[in-house]
Amino acid sequence: MTTAPAADARALFVDLVGSEPTGVWSSPGRVNLIGEHTDYNDGFVFPFAIEHRTYVALGTRTDGRIRVASTFTPEVVEVALDELDDLFPARRDEIAEWARYPLGVAWALAKTTGSDAATGVDLAIASDVPVGAGLSSSAAIEGAVASALDETWGLGLDRVALAKIGRTAENEAVGAPTGIMDQMSSMLGRPDAAIFLDCRSLEADVVDLGFADAGLELLVMDTGVKHSHATGGYGERRASCELGARTLGVAALRDVSVDDLPRAEELLDDVTYRRVRHIVTENARVIETVRTLREKGPEAIGDLLVASHVSMRDDFEISAPELDTAVDAALAAGAIGARMTGGGFGGAAIALVSHDSVDQVRDAVTAAFADAGYAAPHIFTVTPLEGARRDN
Ligand code: ADP
Ligand code: MG
């Protein structure tokens, strides 16, 4: 694991302020093992935190202002803390988009706790979470800033409360309508474990994955593709799920079971039915994955991962030819299981692979992309590791 971004955050701070920071905090990106598009249906997801992290070096200042800098951009943004409430959400356009994440977290913390204990701060940010690759660099920056400010301002919020702060910042200050999965995994991650999250109650169980003992690795196969209908497709899927729930008379598709599907098929048009069937069976697969891990171990979850992919490809129709190629080639080369991960229409697929066949799977996927005339994928392993922490 690299420690370079921690040193980069500290160095950026020293450059900016001319003295050492009081501390450095960090929070990781994440990969979702299974449970796709279930979050906004009040359902279940099963993500884990990874070794890529965002670091924040913090020092206090006495003038009630907050200044943010990141190695991501040469721009430095500074505002008075008591201006934040005017800026968010109404005048958010005046703030550079990247700076809405850290400033939005400060705003959400102040608003939620009603605290006037907030002192001014300088924040210097550095990260090795790739941006926009589906690994949630946004939750990483939110988690790091929320942890740093919570401690500095003496707020004493717990990890779930800090995850909610991150979501509030992202929804209201940034203006991105996302669920809470990313923030929960970034805050609650543990080594070789994933977070079984009930998106309705926000109850979260940390479940051992046992990948290390079983000699398994998780490969991320980033296709580098983002199809143009990604944003519209996401909205359409959400609308189909809402229509399905309304027609079936439930608050959310979480309340529909596999046994209810025949009735759903009678009541819904074909497309809506298939969207509903994905959500209903995917929720069941998340629960089954957790049970299988506990009872049989990680080698036994492969079929569930594959079934999840097939459901996204055929019923939810959010896969892409590149994702199908990655999944098929990985399975043909001996992966235990594989599926696309994230919102779909591009992005990354994952494969669960024995340590000895990592190179074989990587080479097979690379070759399949070349054969199909696709740009070379970016393939790397990720390790489930701990969530937000203070580093020094
Ligand atoms: P992701 O899938 O990586 O979470 P998002 O679009 O949700 O993609 O969030 C990416 C955005 O978060 C970036 O465009 C940037 O505005 C902000 N961001 C993430 N990491 C950093 C960083 N280290 N420094 C500054 N801004 C960051
Ligand atoms: Mg994000």
pLDDT digits (tens, 9 = 90+) for 228-265: 666 788 889 999 999 999 999 999 999 999 999 999 99
Task: Say if residue 227's pLDDT is above 80.
Answer: no
Contact 169, 92 (CB under 8 A): no
User: Measuring from atom 9 of ligand 1, which residue has the nearest CA?
Assistant: 138
Q: Of 153, 147, 152, 189, which Cα lies nearest the Cα of 165?
A: 147
Q: What b/e readout covers 13-39, taking b as 16+ CB neighbours within 10 angstroms?
A: beebbeeebebbbbbbbbbbbbbbbbb
> Which tens digits make up the pLDDT trace of 269-308?
999 999 999 999 999 999 999 999 999 999 999 999 999 9
Give residue 1's pLDDT.
Answer: 42
Q: Which ligand is the nearest neighbour of the Cα of 341?
A: 1
From the options 3.30.70.260, 3.30.230.10, 1.10.150.300, 3.50.50.60, give the CATH code of 4-206.
3.30.230.10
Has 192 been annotated as catalytic?
Answer: no
pTM for the model stands at 0.94
Q: Which of 312, 343, 341, 338 is nearest to 326 (CA)?
A: 338
| Cα-to-centroid distance, 300 and ligand 2 (Å) | 30
**pLDDT of 194:** 98
pLDDT at 293: 98
pLDDT tens string 47-58: 999 999 999 999
Q: Which residues contact 23 (CB under 8 A, 6 or more apart)?
A: 57, 58, 148, 151, 152, 390, 391, 392
Say which of 122, 182, 222, 315 is annotated catalytic.
Answer: 182
